[in-house]
Amino acid sequence: MFIDTHAHIYSEEFSDEYREMIERADKAGVKKILMPAIDASTHGTMLQLQENHPTTCLSMMGLHPCSVNENLEEELKTVENHLKQRKFVAIGETGLDFHWDLTYKEQQYHAFEQQAEWAIEYKIPIVIHSRKSTQACIDVIKKYTPKGLRGVFHCFSGSQELAKSIIKEGFYLGIGGVLTFKNADLAEVATQLPMEYLILETDAPYLAPVPYRGKRNEPSYIPLVAEKLAALKSITIEEVETLTTKNAMELFNLTDDNA
């Protein structure tokens, strides 16, 4: 069994074939799909998918850094209200994004730290988005790991040094389609990463692995990432499947049914 630990399958890009897409994942051995929240505009579709597929599709709750703007407090209140009403597998995705507009950089920090506190309060992991901001995100979590914060840096593509810093804090690394890209430095870094800190993800519909690069990504492509990781680590794809699934189940406190 594979687990896709990060997929935006509630995206409009899948709206005409949710069921078919989930069936393709199942046939590929991907039995669980974890769905990170973006902002209030995505919650309804995400939660409906979980209701329709309760043992496969599992929701997170959080505010994406790219959705941080002038209505920040309203969005955070919405997240808090959801957390009070039901269980989620994680807080996320949250973090910092310094790639685009930095207008709300200070507010991104505030949102990230608030969500770290909620992760500790509700005893669930945090899923971190760290585009162009990995070291800054590490600096933030260092303040909270002594209080029990745990989680994953999703879509990791950083250096060996950054990976070591993340693992030192007890966090996992989410490995996705970027691993298969021809000029990706991640492939070289991955050879040195300990398997006990790796989990698999697609970040669907984005970052499809080779040979689908540039096309819509989906959870059924997880075995392509696993195959590449197996080749880089000189182990079997079955070993990658076993180890990464074990890691994901432990981090997100998953069971075989998780209804």
Q: Assess if residue 256 is contained within a domain.
A: no
Give the chain's mean pLDDT.
97
Q: With a cut of 90, say whether residue 162 has pLDDT above it.
A: yes
pLDDT of 80 reads 98
Mind listing the pLDDT tens digit for each residue in 42-88?
A: 999 999 999 999 999 999 999 999 999 999 999 999 999 999 999 99
What is each CA distance from 110 to 8, 21, 121, in whole angstroms?
24, 36, 17
Measured CA to CA, the distance from residue 120 to residue 143 in angstroms comes to 12
Q: Assess if residue 258 is contained within a domain.
A: no
Query: What CATH number did the domain enclosing 234 receive?
Result: 3.20.20.140
Q: Assess if residue 42 is contained within a domain.
A: yes
Mind listing the pLDDT tens digit for each residue in 174-206?
A: 999 999 998 779 999 999 999 999 999 999 999
Computed on alpha carbons and rounded to an integer, the radius of gyration of the chain in Å comes to 17
Tokens 């070291």, residue located: 135
| Residue-wise DSSP of 25-47 | HHHTTEEEEEE---SHHHHHHHH
- CB contact at 8 A, 224 and 30: no
Q: Assess if residue 257 is contained within a domain.
A: no
Measured CA to CA, the distance from residue 168 to residue 211 in angstroms comes to 34
3-state secondary structure of 22: helix
How does residue 100 score in pLDDT terms, banded at 50, 70 and 90?
confident
Q: Assess if residue 259 is contained within a domain.
A: no
Q: Assess if residue 41 is contained within a domain.
A: yes
Q: Assess if residue 169 is contained within a domain.
A: yes
Q: Lowest-confidence range among 101-105, 108-112, 150-154? A: 101-105
Number of structural domains (the chain) is: 1
Q: Assess if residue 147 is contained within a domain.
A: yes
Over range 134-163, report the average pLDDT.
98
Over range 128-144, report the average pLDDT.
98
Range of the domain at 66: 2-251
